[in-house]
């Protein structure tokens, strides 16, 4: 407790907690008659109340500390408490009391010269003269302290020089004795050294011969092993070359396959466009919707070819942006302004899952253009994509009137809604529709069959 209080006091954190620690320490030390801890607690409390300008309490605790230190014979601590009393009386303006306590320090019986000519005593005396307004005597006390300190330093220096001289002479005598001992044992060491050198020469010769034999055997064995390893490395290089060639052929086939699929989808889209130009309005709408589904697949294959990762994952947000641009070019017109807000994490998914999600979004966006925005000048679409608990979550909203109450019967006949249900079911997902506050909302989930990587994770994997 005293250590904690002293540490807080040393750091300048003198507050009520310091008083509480000191009082508790005083109570315990009083119960067990720990006089030194009791006196220290008194001193800490006196210092605290001095900082709080409560001079009466401070003086009470400092006098208590002085008496206890005097009782147990701690002269140095007693002197420190007396010094604090001098400073306290000086701060209070009671200069007569301060001079009386200073006289105790000057005439201290056990150690009469401890403060009489010391720097600390002169400093206290100087503060006392300064408080009285006698600056000349205050300066004289400080000058006396400086001269006394210089004298003490010189005496300490001479004492240290004397001690070092004595140590040097002692060490020199010991060194001479050691030299005599070394001279006496040098001959025997030389004899032992000559004998050791002869034995060492014989031993080294034997070791050298054994080493030559071992090196010869090791060289022959390593030569056989190296030849075997070279043959194995040659075989591995051939296998790696075959695998690399096979991988290049496979990538070329995948590339050609996607090019042909993309071209075939483009040809099919063009045929549907030509067919719809001469068809009646209902047939034209059906062909246009079928053409948008074909184009949704074509957009996916174009992104696969452009990314160069024909067998890897596809970044979902880029595909969604391309799909929005395509559908806006297909169904948009000058009298309709559509505001699209997309919040999509950068997820890398398998081509199969991206294809299903793209077909579902194609149906939802097409439905918004055909039905939700009919007769409106401003259409709003909101889409949010996220991966939660090993599932892909899609939230789609528009500001259309929503499906009518007989939507269950219509949904059974609607090809678009059937496509959405089948694709969601294929990926073991869920499908939900509701309307609130003039906003139609579709919530869909797709179960992920493999790990999903965010964009920074995918970059780390590629590196």
- Could you tell me the CATH number of the domain that includes residue 345? 3.30.565.10
Average pLDDT, the chain: 77
User: Averaged over 162-166, what is the pLDDT?
Assistant: 88
User: Averaged over 331-338, what is the pLDDT?
Assistant: 77
Instruction: Please determine, for residue 251, whether its predicted confidence score (pLDDT) is greater than 50.
Output: yes
CA gap 127, 117 in Å, rounded: 16
Is 32 a domain residue? yes
Instruction: Please determine, for residue 111, whether its predicted confidence score (pLDDT) is greater than 60.
Output: no
Is 246 a domain residue? no
Is 277 a domain residue? no
Is 188 a domain residue? no
Residue span of the structural domain in which 10 resides: 2-158
Of 158, 185, 202, the last residue of a domain is 158
CA-nearest of 361, 363, 348 to 459 is 348
Q: What is the pTM of this model?
A: 0.42
Reported as a pLDDT band with limits 50, 70 and 90, residue 456 is very low
CA gap 137, 115 in Å, rounded: 18
Is 307 a domain residue? no
Instruction: Please determine, for residue 120, whether its predicted confidence score (pLDDT) is greater than 70.
Output: no
Reported as a pLDDT band with limits 50, 70 and 90, residue 443 is very high
Of 139, 158, 177, the last residue of a domain is 158
Query: Which residues, 6+ apart, have CB-to-CB distance to 54 below 8 Å?
Result: none
Reported as a pLDDT band with limits 50, 70 and 90, residue 156 is confident
Is 284 a domain residue? no
**Structural domain count of the chain:** 2
Of 130, 158, 186, the last residue of a domain is 158
Predicted pLDDT at 383 = 92
Is 419 a domain residue? yes
Instruction: Please determine, for residue 138, whether its predicted confidence score (pLDDT) is greater than 80.
Output: no
- Could you tell me the CATH number of the domain that includes residue 45? 1.25.40.10
Reported as a pLDDT band with limits 50, 70 and 90, residue 453 is very low
CA-nearest of 164, 461, 105, 214 to 313 is 461
Predicted pLDDT at 322 = 82
User: Averaged over 149-176, what is the pLDDT?
Assistant: 85
């Amino acid at each position: 407790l005293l250590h904690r209080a002293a540490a807080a006091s040393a750091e300048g954190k003198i507050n009520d907690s310091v008083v509480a620690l000191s009082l508790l320490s005083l109570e315990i030390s009083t119960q067990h008659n720990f006089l030194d801890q009791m006196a220290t607690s008194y001193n800490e409390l006196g210092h605290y109340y001095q900082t709080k300008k409560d001079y009466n309490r401070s003086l009470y605790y400092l006098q208590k500390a002085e008496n206890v230190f005097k009782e147990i014979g701690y002269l140095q601590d007693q002197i420190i408490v007396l010094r604090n009393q001098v400073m306290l009386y000086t701060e209070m303006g009671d200069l007569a009391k301060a001079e009386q306590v200073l006289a105790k320090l000057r005439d201290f019986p056990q150690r009469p010269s401890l403060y009489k000519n010391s720097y600390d005593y002169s400093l206290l005396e100087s503060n006392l003269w300064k408080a009285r307004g006698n600056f000349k005597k205050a300066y004289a006390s400080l000058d006396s302290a400086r001269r006394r300190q210089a004298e003490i330093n010189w005496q300490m220096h001479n004492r240290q020089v004397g001690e070092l001289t004595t140590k040097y002479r002692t060490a020199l005598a010991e060194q001479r004795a050691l030299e005599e001992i070394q001279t006496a044992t040098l001959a025997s060491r030389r004899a032992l050294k000559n004998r050791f050198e002869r034995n060492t020469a014989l031993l080294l010769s034997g070791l050298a011969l054994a080493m030559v034999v071992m090196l010869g055997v090791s060289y022959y064995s390593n030569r056989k092993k190296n030849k075997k390893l070279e043959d194995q490395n040659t075989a591995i290089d051939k296998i790696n070359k075959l695998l690399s060639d096979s991988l290049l052929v496979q990538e070329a086939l995948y590339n050609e396959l996607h090019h042909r699929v993309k071209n075939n989808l483009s040809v099919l889209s063009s045929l549907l466009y030509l067919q719809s130009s001469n068809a009646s309005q209902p047939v034209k709408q059906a062909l246009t919707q079928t053409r948008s589904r074909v184009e949704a697949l074509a957009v996916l294959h174009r992104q696969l070819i452009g990314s160069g990762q024909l067998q890897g994952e596809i970044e979902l947000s880029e595909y969604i942006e391309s799909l929005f641009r395509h559908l806006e070019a297909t169904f948009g017109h000058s009298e309709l302004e559509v505001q699209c807000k997309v919040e999509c994490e950068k997820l890398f998914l398998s081509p199969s899952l991206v294809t299903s999600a793209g077909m579902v979004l194609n149906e939802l966006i097409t439905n918004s253009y055909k039905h939700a925005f009919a007769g409106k000048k401003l259409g709003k679409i909101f889409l949010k994509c996220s991966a939660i608990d090993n599932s892909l979550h899609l939230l789609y909203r528009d500001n259309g009137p929503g499906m009518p109450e007989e939507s269950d019967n219509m949904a059974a006949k609607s090809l678009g809604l059937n496509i959405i249900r089948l694709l969601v079911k294929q990926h073991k997902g869920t499908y939900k529709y509701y309307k609130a506050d003039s906003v139609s909302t579709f919530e869909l989930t797709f179960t992920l069959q493999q790990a999903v990587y965010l964009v920074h994770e995918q970059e780390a994997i590629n590196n």
